[in-house]
Amino acid sequence: MEKSMNCLLRATNLTKRFSPQDPPVVDKVSFTVAPEEIFAILGPSGCGKTTTLRMIAGFERTDEGSIQLNGKTLECPYTHVPPEKRGVGFVFQDYALFPHLNVLENVKFGLTGLSKSEREYRANDILELIGMKAFCKRKPHELSGGQQQRVALARALAPKPSMLLMDEPFSNLDAVLRQSTRNEVRRILKEARMSAVLVTHDQEEALSVADRIGVMNKGKLVQIGTPEDVYYRPRTSFVATFLGRTNLFAAQASGLEARSEIGTLMLDKPARGDVMLSVRPEHLTIERATPANSSNSCGLICSREFKGHDITYHVRMPQCECIVHTDNRMPFSIGDNVVVRPLEPAVVLEHEDGRASLTPSFMQETGDPYKPL
Amino acid sequence: MISKRTLSGLPPWYFLLPAVFVGISVLMPLVYLVIRAFDGDWSQTSELVLRQRNLILLKNTLMLTGSVVLVTTLLAFPFAWLTTRTNVPGVKLMTLLGVMPLAIPGYVLAYSLLGVGGTNGTLAQLFGIVIDRPSGFWGALLAISLYTFPYLFLNLRTGFLGLDPSVEEAARSLGYSSRQILFRVIIPQLKPSYLAGMLIISLYVIGDFGAVSLMRFETFSYALFLQYESAFDRVYAAWIALMLLALTSTILVAEYKLLKGLSFYRIGVGSARRTKITELSSWGIGLAWTYVLAVLTAAVVIPVVTILFWMAQGVDPFIWNSFGDAIRNSITASAPAALLAVFFAVPLAYISIRYPSRMSNYLQRFAYLGYATPPLALALAFIFFSLSAVPFLYQSLALLVFAYALHFLAESMGPIRSALYQAPPRIEEAARSLGVSRFRAFWLTTFPLLKSGIVAGSAFVFLSAMKELPITFILSPIGFETLAVSVWGYSAEAMFAEAAPFALSILFFSVLFVYLLFAREWKKA
């Protein structure tokens, strides 16, 4: 898909420094977005994702690299198309609704070059699409967070931009609202056949809304792929741990098998020598230890989180500790002797520069691979 | 990280240009002042600079400044404490009364103090009591202190309101008594707001001309005026102005050094809980209100009664003709000045908040420099500047308006800045992503949100210019008498009845000023 000619937005080697002595906030970031595709840039705060988005919108100049939209160059070291000439919609984290204008006026703001009746018609049309028509006379401060969010979306969609950029669009909503708004926004974008770049630090949000995800860390895009791709086949330990909980094991690989701290594991691709493996907690299961099955994959349950639909167990093994998700029909208690068994092949991780890695960098920093990020 | 309040890139030229223009306009006249001061030959110059009279002027100016600071501190502290930290009834009224003395400008107060005493004064005529007319140091001290203490009161009030109650509770839990907390926790935290208020008052005393001239107390400003009026020796006038500026700079630098490193803003988020208040007994409440009313009597009631008394003495009909002219003149100079000041203040405030940098910081300081410059020195600098550089503007209304605008620019910056702080910067980016150009994005989104700030800012400048005396005195075109100049002129010649209608109309505009100030301050609580 990366090499497909059918691409709407192409960002090449985007680089941005805020001060010459510091490392770049955005470092040679390249990606493409296809028509009607929702692309999420996922990363921890301060990783440069918002700056990347603002460069696409034209609010920040790039130091290096170029941006093309529909084959037209918007940005390169000698060109800077101002934001108002880019035809790109932007939804801000705090929505940035015009506080002195009502909902309808906010939505009509970008509808220039149309007759009065056409503007009215188009604005009402889009308010209908997002289900806010009843509120068109309200001022922004009279709306709830979720409603403001919809209006911001409507305002950005109204002028029919080539694509939509969204900066942490759901982060100001409470947990319950976030989920429903997410589905709603995805529905609206798909219905409007609108392609979008969305920036978020919430992996669940990226996984559920986006068609493809780019995982960003310290100014660099680490991995690009479908949600399943980045979740099940993380390229590095950063991607593996940032997209949910995982178990990282140091192992000795030979071909499609490896010897690890929890016994012999199947691998997703052939490897040789010292490798770092990632196994998702739901790809492990536990059984009661019996004299028949006990081996070096045997351990002791040291903690247990009951979450209703599933249970998370922490199992202390002779050389490590691992997390296992099981469904709620596996009632073990703390202190039980169990055997951990893999359900899927383990994923061989690369070092961030492409080499097979032994110790992930974050482990050296925090010393706790299970620390929730 | 992307800051919450700023925009990236360079400020647009249409904001940069007026801002730079303000900087140049403040600096250029001062440059001409220096040029003029070095006009004379060396022996003459050194004789002027080393004159013993300069030392006396310095002693007088410093003595008056120090005494006013002391007296205003004593006057303002009880007001600030009572209105923020006690259960005294009628807090809103007391706050308003604490600001009220600002409605009686120093020279009007001086005029009324002169009108009260003497064999011919209000007291003598109404009650048969003859007191000496206050004059000299004590007269100037009284008039200026009673007029300026509200500035300190407002600053201290903001300081008291900003105190975090949990810091005091922490001190108490660590075993401190109430008295120890007062001296070791509360007062140190009030230092920044006290210093800020002190700065305003010291700058005012140094620059004051009306009260000291009516009381005939020779400070730098009064000497500058006398020198300028005698008109023979402009070089000495220029030197006095320079000494005045040197004194001002010393105070600004001292303030900067003292304030450096002092920032006691509340750490943490969320709204602070209400400060714990001191319960006053009914005795205490009675004492508090007696104090407030006594100060108010001296600062407001006596001047107003005196003015009304002299009004009732009968005003010559010929005065009413010049009265109409004076009002018209005051307005024709002040209204355009208010608009011009806002025209400069919006770009300056915008650049300093949205594009903070060393340059925008300097540009903004020029606006405050125009305010800190003693008005007589500023006016004299403008005279020299216009005579040498733009002779066609010399003694023109345009120059007066321009000088007002530069001098009062800082007053309009406050409300415009706070309006800008509340306007989210992303709305301009939102507008641009919807296809609107940079300037139109500002015009359609941020500008409408600045309206209330602009109205308040221009009102401050207008009302301040209406009562402005020294700049008007020196820069107004020949025969252009304003309300303030008329009050001063008649009072200087002890024609109290003639001065009364002018003084009364000044009071009218000053009350509006006070009301505006109070309304904005009250919202802070």
Clarify whether residues B265 and B356 are in a common domain: no
Helices (H), B86-184: 91-99, 106-116, 122-127, 136-162, 165-173, 178-181
Clarify whether residues B296 and B330 are in a common domain: no
Does any CB of chain A come closer than 8 Å to the CB of residue B445? yes
Residue B442 falls within a domain, yes or no? yes
Q: Of A331-345, B33-47, B369-383, where does mean pLDDT reach its minimum?
A: B33-47
Query: In this structure, what are the phi and psi dihedrals at residue B467, rounded to the nearest 5 degrees?
Result: -105, 5
Domain boundary residue, one of B264, B286, B313: B313
Q: Is the pLDDT of residue B241 over 80?
A: yes
DSSP H or E segment with residue A318:
none
Residue written as token pair 């005091």: B168
Query: In this structure, what are the phi and psi dihedrals at residue A371, rounded to the nearest 5 degrees?
Result: -60, 125
Rounded mean pLDDT of chain A?
A: 86
Clarify whether residues B232 and B254 are in a common domain: yes
Clarify whether residues B336 and B484 are in a common domain: yes
Chain A residues with CB under 8 Å of B420 CB are: none
- Residue A99: C-alpha distances to residues A103, A109, B7, B444 (Å): 9, 13, 19, 11
Q: Of A10-24, A246-260, B162-176, B310-324, where does mean pLDDT reach its minimum?
A: B162-176
CB contact under 8 A, A100 and B429: no
Is ipTM strictly over 0.90? no
Domain ranges of chain A: 9-232, 242-366
Clarify whether residues B163 and B244 are in a common domain: yes
Contacts of B285 (CB under 8 A, 6+ apart): B88, B89
**Interval B505-525: pLDDT, tens:** 888 888 888 888 888 878 765
Q: How many helices (H) and strands (E) does chain A have?
A: 9, 19
Chain A residues with CB under 8 Å of B437 CB are: 82, 84
Clarify whether residues B335 and B476 are in a common domain: yes
**What are residue B518's DSSP bridge partners?**
none
Residue of A nearest to B441 (CA): A84
DSSP H or E segment with residue B357:
none
Domain boundary residue, one of B291, B313, B335: B313
**Interval B335-345: pLDDT, tens:** 999 999 999 99
Token pair for B225:
């005026």
Token pair for B177:
């008594």
What's the whole-number mean pLDDT along residues A88-96? 90
CB contact under 8 A, B433 and A90: yes
Chain A residues with CB under 8 Å of B430 CB are: 90, 92, 96-98, 155
The CA distance from A153 to the nearest CA of chain B, in Å, is 11
Q: Given pLDDT bands bounded at 50, 70 and 90, which one contains residue B500?
A: confident
Residue B43 falls within a domain, yes or no? no
Domain boundary residue, one of B280, B313, B346: B313
Q: Around A137, how many Cα atoms within 13 Å sit in the side-chain half-sphere?
A: 1
**Interval B396-420: pLDDT, tens:** 899 999 999 999 998 888 889 888 8
Q: Around B477, how many Cα atoms within 13 Å sit in the side-chain half-sphere?
A: 13
**Interval B18-36: pLDDT, tens:** 988 998 888 888 888 888 8
Q: How far apart are CA B124 and CA B119, in angstroms?
A: 6
Does any CB of chain A come closer than 8 Å to the CB of residue B447? no
Helices B496-524 and B447-466: crossing angle in degrees, nearest 10, is: 150
Residue of A nearest to B427 (CA): A96
**How would CATH label the architecture of A9-232?**
3-Layer(aba) Sandwich (3.40)
Pairing of strands A72-76, A310-316: unpaired
Token pair for A320:
């490590």
CB contact under 8 A, B432 and A82: yes
Contacts of B413 (CB under 8 A, 6+ apart): B345, B348, B349, B364, B367, B368, B457
CB contact under 8 A, A61 and B9: yes
Q: Compare CB distances from A96 to B9, B429, B449 and report the shortest one's residue.
A: B429
Q: Is the pLDDT of residue A191 over 50?
A: yes
Does any CB of chain B come closer than 8 Å to the CB of residue A50? yes
Token pair for B508:
């009218």
Q: Compare CB distances from A100 to B1, B426, B449 and report the shortest one's residue.
A: B449
With b for 16 or more beta-carbon neighbours within 10 A and e for fewer, the B413-452 pattern comes to: bbbbbebbeebbbbbbbbbbbbbbebebbbebbbbebbee
CB contact under 8 A, A89 and B434: yes
Residue B44 falls within a domain, yes or no? no
Clarify whether residues B294 and B319 are in a common domain: no
Clarify whether residues B174 and B246 are in a common domain: yes
Closest of B488, B472, B461 to residue B376, by C-alpha: B472
Residue B440 falls within a domain, yes or no? yes
Q: How many helices (H) and strands (E) does chain B have?
A: 25, 0
Clarify whether residues B360 and B303 are in a common domain: no
Helices B375-388 and B234-259: crossing angle in degrees, nearest 10, is: 130
Fold of A242-366: OB fold (Dihydrolipoamide Acetyltransferase, E2P) (2.40.50)
What pTM was computed for the model?
A: 0.80
Token pair for B62:
């410093």
Q: Which domain holds residue B285?
A: 51-313
**Interval A206-240: pLDDT, tens:** 999 999 999 999 999 999 999 999 999 999 999 99
User: Sign of torsion, CA B15 B19 B24 B25?
Assistant: positive
Chain B residues with CB under 8 Å of A52 CB are: none
With b for 16 or more beta-carbon neighbours within 10 A and e for fewer, the B490-510 pattern comes to: bbbeeebbbbbbbbbbbbebb
CB contact under 8 A, A96 and B8: no
Scan residues 54-73 of A and list those with Cβ closer than 8 Å to B: 54, 57-61
Does any CB of chain B come closer than 8 Å to the CB of residue A44? no
Does any CB of chain A come closer than 8 Å to the CB of residue B358? no
Clarify whether residues B237 and B221 are in a common domain: yes
Clarify whether residues B185 and B267 are in a common domain: yes
Q: Quick one: pLDDT at residue B472? A: 92
- Gyration radius of chain A over CA positions: 24
CB contact under 8 A, B434 and A155: yes
Q: How far apart are CA A165 and CA A163, in angstroms?
A: 7
Q: Quick one: pLDDT at residue B75? A: 94
Scan residues 162-201 of A and list those with Cβ closer than 8 Å to B: 165
Residue of B nearest to A107 (CA): B434
Chain B residues with CB under 8 Å of A92 CB are: 426, 429-430
Q: Quick one: pLDDT at residue B267? A: 42
Closest of B155, B153, B184, B191 to residue B167, by C-alpha: B184
Clarify whether residues B213 and B351 are in a common domain: no
The CA distance from B29 to the nearest CA of chain A, in Å, is 38
The CA distance from B409 to the nearest CA of chain A, in Å, is 27
Q: Compare CB distances from A84 to B8, B426, B432 and report the shortest one's residue.
A: B432
**CATH for B241:** 1.10.3720.10
> What residue type is B202 in one-letter code?
S
Q: Is the pLDDT of residue B503 over 90?
A: no
Q: Compare CB distances from A84 to B8, B424, B435 and report the shortest one's residue.
A: B435
Number of compact structural domains in chain B? 2
Q: How far apart are CA B347 and CA B350, in angstroms?
A: 5
